[in-house]
Structure 1
Amino acid sequence: MGIAEDLPILESRLTELITRYEQYFIGVEKREPLRLLAEVDQLVRRYATAPITNTMYKHRYTSLVARLSSYRQLWNKTVREIEEGRYARDRFRARLNEERREQGEGMERRRDILPPVDPDLERVYRELQEARSACNLPPGGVTREQLAATLAKQRPELSRRLGTDDIRFRVVVENGKPRIKAGKTDTHT
């Protein structure tokens, strides 16, 4: 085989090697792709001392070798960081595992920290989900947390406008869409 046949092979193997190293660094591949690296090195060494007379092939070969060299420096640096425990992905995983362990050990403490469930909020959320279902809208749309934040944000303005802090939210359907309406709490019921 000559340089004309080997250059496309070298280019495709180099592209595959780059992909495999990226997969190794993000944790998809479990082992460093050393065998493929050896194959690429062998193709590079084959023409390292051989004279390449065609300028186009020579340029393409030197470009591929330069690309391999720059990637190799990056890979060596990243592998060294992994070995020393300074690689960001590994630090993230270690922190995540530590947080999971803490959560498992302290679930009783976390239950005490959680805010009490607001029955009025639960009622409005349930009515909203039922109205969405009645209007043939997909379930979801708004989470409890989003609903709580929205109602808490609107409550001061509504209190000022209605002249009372006793506000009751209800869900109505207008034009085929569920809406949340606010009004004064009815003291007679």
Structure 2
Amino acid sequence: MDERRVFKKKLDDIALELRELELLYERYFSGEEKREPLKQRTEIERKLRALATRRIIKTDHRFLFDSLSSRYHTYATQWNRIQRLIDEGKYHRHTERRPAKTAADPAKALPSDDLYENLLRAHQSCALKTPPPGRSQFDAYLEKQKAQILEKYGKQNVEFRIVIENGKPKLRAKAK
């Protein structure tokens, strides 16, 4: 019975270390950490390999081990893919934080994400038979409108909003 508790403790320790490794990789990919946590990763790999060679009789322990091993290998594949993208220069770290929305200040322009969500809601409320435009199509249209307004009125702050006219959602611009 004592061996059973020792083995369960090893599995729990590995699960905890794997969770810590996940957090370290999140920090590394976000740019908070400068170096990849390879030391911790190789340590977990070593422990998992050592347990893989062992014959596990208890079904609950086998299940826990298989779950941990599977979870680790899934994360390892993801981490390798992201690291490859970083090496190729195709990965952009998402370090910018969006400011919190305040209901008290409606004069601020909505970010593109909020505009698109408002467009989708307006499209649903109008119950149109045609599908809403795709995100890339909407962003391209928004950039085109910004360029036209900039050309026509010069450097002026513009606020975009979604309105419903004649049963259809429309994008409206208002100069500030």
Verify: 1:37 aligned to 2:63, yes or no: no
Structure 2 counterpart of 1:13: 17
Verify: 1:53 aligned to 2:57, yes or no: yes
For 2:31 and 2:39, how far apart are their aligned partners in 1? 18
Q: C-alpha displacement at 1:37, in angstroms?
A: 0.4
Structure 2 counterpart of 1:64: 68
Q: C-alpha displacement at 1:88, in angstroms?
A: 2.6
For 2:158 and 2:70, how far apart are their aligned partners in 1? 53
State the AA in 2 paired with 1:66: S
What does the per-residue CA deviation read over 1:3-54, in whole Å, with 9 as the maximum and x for residues that have no partner? 2220110000000001100110000111000011011112101111100111
For 1:35 and 1:23, how far apart are their aligned partners in 2? 15
Verify: 1:80 aligned to 2:84, yes or no: yes
For 2:64 and 2:8, how far apart are their aligned partners in 1? 10
What does the per-residue CA deviation read over 1:42-79, in whole Å, with 9 as the maximum and x for residues that have no partner? 21011111001111011000000000001100000000
For 2:65 and 2:10, how far apart are their aligned partners in 1? 10
Q: How many residues align?
A: 98
Higher relative contact order (CA 8 A, sep 6+): 2
- The runs of at least 4 aligned residues of structure 1 exceeding 3 Å deviation read none
Q: C-alpha displacement at 1:89, in angstroms?
A: 2.1
What secondary structure, in the 3-state scheme, does the structure 2 residue paired with 1:82 have?
Answer: helix
Verify: 1:24 aligned to 2:28, yes or no: yes
> Identity rate of aligned residues, in percent?
34
State the AA in 1 paired with 2:89: G
Counting only pairs closer than 5 Å after superposition, residues 129-140 of structure 1 correspond to structure 2 as none
CA RMSD of aligned residues (A): 2.4
For 2:155 and 2:22, how far apart are their aligned partners in 1? 47
For 1:89 and 1:14, how far apart are their aligned partners in 2? 22
State the AA in 2 paired with 1:67: R
What does the per-residue CA deviation read over 1:67-117, in whole Å, with 9 as the maximum and x for residues that have no partner? 000110000000000000010328x9xxxxxxxxxxxxxxxxxxxx656xx
For structure 2, which runs of at least 5 residues remain unmatched after alignment? 97-153, 161-176
For 1:44 and 1:4, how far apart are their aligned partners in 2? 14
Q: C-alpha displacement at 1:145, in angstroms?
A: 8.2
For 1:65 and 1:19, how far apart are their aligned partners in 2? 17
